[in-house]
């Protein structure tokens, strides 16, 4: 409601061709899809290549954070 706090656009369309997928994030702000104070990211690339990299990075960060948390817990219990 009232726009998203976060947004990542991943596509291979260019804005010059007039397609919706080629629109810049500021267009989404004007439509109310993204909040004006959000920090959107637009990635130009082939989704079948880029998306797995983004997903893998997300899992690695989550795993590393959990591993660090466990290490801190073990240190406190000694």
Active site residues: 33
Tokens 């954070």 sit on residue: 65
Asked if 36 and 43 count as a contact pair (C-beta separation under 8 A), the reply is: no
Asked if 54 and 22 count as a contact pair (C-beta separation under 8 A), the reply is: no
What's the Cα-to-Cα distance from 18 to each of 4, 23, 52, 59, 71, rounded to whole Å?
23, 7, 27, 35, 51
């Amino acid at each position: 409601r009232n726009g998203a706090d976060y947004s990542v656009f991943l596509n291979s369309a260019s804005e010059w061709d007039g397609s919706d997928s080629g629109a810049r994030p500021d267009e989404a702000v004007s439509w109310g899809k993204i909040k004006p104070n959000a920090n959107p990211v637009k990635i130009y690339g082939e989704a079948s290549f880029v998306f797995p990299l983004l997903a893998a990075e997300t899992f690695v960060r989550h795993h590393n954070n959990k591993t660090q948390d466990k290490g801190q817990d073990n240190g406190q219990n000694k």
